[in-house]
């Protein structure tokens, strides 16, 4: 894999465009549903029923999925989970897909518990950025949220990423009554570090039946930040899921992701593939195409591409429409869906 985020390309593949004119150039691939934390907003304390290993895509199947999407116009891939670093062979897989022509950027999302030792090689193989989950700066509260005593391992990963100068985005899920008082302290991480700190609405995908009403909306998050940082100004990045802000004197910037409020649907360029190989064109659909079944039944590359095109051209306009199309939104854990 070339050691830079951007890779030289020759002839570009055609663009993959949905029925509302949105260019679909971003693939989020969940490599596993396994996780070594039990965060209260993601799964019950007892955990969830893990997907049988034979039902999870192999690395060879995942490579084929990535290759096909890249050939159709995807230029950015994010590897998620579960916790991706729990799956053996992840680093070799990153390097493998990194050699695909026309794939410009590879990113990874992690909880940071096991990640620190891998940071030097991630730098070496040219990872585009790392998203690190960090919901609190207090070890005792970390245990309360994650139900595991791993705070110091996560902070080691945080500092190692900074040391190796890999672009870093810190993700904080705001959970009312548990950590909303840390919005400002965590935002202040961007004061002295060139990072992006994003605050995420709690989602209904908690492995415990979901919920009916948002506990702490993006508007309340915004009000909290505006009160603490009066000079905060919005900055433009229309393709981002986050509404981004600059604070005078900060080296980094702040963001709010209104995934439950669904404020970014009109510019959404994302396709998700779950650990089982189910393609989702919206987080709120229940899966629109079983890629694993197609591959394991012997479908050709062109047959799979045509099936993908058909689903992209039948995409819901937004998350609310996607929710209406199904009888009930999948209330499984985000680990099963792909975070």
For residues 101 and 214, the model is more confident at 101
Rounded mean pLDDT of 87-107?
97
Nearest to 198 by CA among 274, 264, 269, 279: 264
For residues 3 and 228, the model is more confident at 228
Q: If residue 54 lies in a helix (H) or strand (E), which one and from where to where?
A: none
The answer to whether residue 154 scores a pLDDT higher than 80 is yes
The answer to whether residue 61 scores a pLDDT higher than 70 is yes
The answer to whether residue 316 scores a pLDDT higher than 60 is yes
Rounded mean pLDDT of 206-212?
50
Quote the CA–CA distance of 246 and 280 in Å, as a whole number.
32
* Structure confidence at residue 32 (pLDDT): 97
pLDDT of 130-140, one tens digit each? 999 999 999 99
Quote the CA–CA distance of 134 and 112 in Å, as a whole number.
9
Quote the CA–CA distance of 2 and 216 in Å, as a whole number.
41
Residue 18 per-residue DSSP state? -
Quote the CA–CA distance of 30 and 337 in Å, as a whole number.
8
pLDDT of 169-190, one tens digit each? 999 999 988 999 999 999 999 9
Look up residue 196 and give its two tokens: 């992006």
Quote the CA–CA distance of 242 and 32 in Å, as a whole number.
25
For residues 288 and 162, the model is more confident at 162
Task: Give Rg (Cα) of the chain.
Answer: 19
Q: Which domains does the chain have, with CATH numbers?
A: 26-337 (3.20.20.70)
Give the largest CA-CA distance in the chain.
58
For residues 178 and 144, the answer to whether their CB atoms sit within 8 Å is yes
Lowest-confidence segment of 6-20, 39-53, 159-173, 231-245 by average pLDDT: 6-20
* Structure confidence at residue 323 (pLDDT): 66
- 42 pLDDT band (50/70/90 cuts)? confident
For residues 268 and 151, the model is more confident at 151
Rounded mean pLDDT of 141-169?
98
* Structure confidence at residue 248 (pLDDT): 97
For 236, the 3-state DSSP assignment is: coil
- 338 pLDDT band (50/70/90 cuts)? low
Quote the CA–CA distance of 183 and 222 in Å, as a whole number.
10
Global confidence as pTM: 0.89
Quote the CA–CA distance of 52 and 94 in Å, as a whole number.
23
Rounded mean pLDDT of 34-57?
89
Rounded mean pLDDT of 96-117?
98
For residues 127 and 104, the answer to whether their CB atoms sit within 8 Å is no
Nearest to 134 by CA among 150, 118, 121: 150
Look-up: residue for tokens 């992690």? 110
């Amino acid at each position: 894999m070339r050691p830079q985020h951007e890779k030289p390309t020759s002839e570009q593949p055609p663009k993959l465009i949905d029925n509302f004119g949105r260019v679909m150039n971003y693939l989020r691939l969940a490599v596993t549903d396994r996780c070594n934390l039990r965060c209260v907003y993601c799964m019950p304390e007892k955990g969830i029923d893990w997907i049988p290993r034979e039902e999870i895509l192999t690395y060879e199947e995942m490579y084929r999925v990535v290759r096909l999407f890249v050939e159709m116009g995807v230029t950015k891939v994010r590897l998620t989970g579960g916790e991706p670093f729990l799956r053996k062979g992840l680093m070799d897989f990153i390097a493998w897909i990194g050699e695909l022509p026309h794939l410009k950027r590879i990113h990874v999302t992690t909880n940071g518990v096991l990640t620190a030792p891998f940071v030097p090689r991630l730098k070496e193989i040219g990872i585009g950025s790392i998203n690190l989950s960090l919901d609190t700066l207090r070890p005792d509260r970390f245990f309360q949220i994650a139900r595991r005593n791993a705070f110091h391992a996560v902070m080691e990963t945080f500092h190692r990423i900074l040391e190796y100068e890999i672009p870093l985005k810190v993700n904080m899920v705001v959970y009312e009554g548990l950590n909303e008082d840390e919005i400002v302290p965590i935002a202040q991480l961007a004061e002295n570090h060139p990072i992006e700190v994003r605050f995420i609405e709690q989602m209904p995908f908690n492995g415990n039946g979901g919920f009916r009403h948002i506990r702490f909306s993006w508007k309340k998050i915004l009000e909290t930040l505006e009160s603490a940082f009066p000079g905060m100004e919005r900055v433009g990045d229309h393709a981002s899921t986050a509404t981004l802000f600059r604070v005078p004197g900060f080296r980094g910037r702040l963001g709010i992701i209104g995934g439950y409020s669904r404020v970014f649907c009109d510019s959404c360029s994302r396709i998700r593939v779950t650990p089982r190989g189910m393609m989702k064109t919206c987080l709120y659909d229940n899966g629109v195409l079983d890629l694993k079944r197609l591959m394991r039944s012997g479908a050709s590359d062109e047959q799979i591409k045509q099936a993908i095109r058909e689903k992209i051209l039948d995409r819901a306009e937004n998350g609310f429409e996607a929710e209406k199309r199904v009888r009930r939104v999948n209330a499984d854990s985000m680990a099963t869906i792909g975070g």
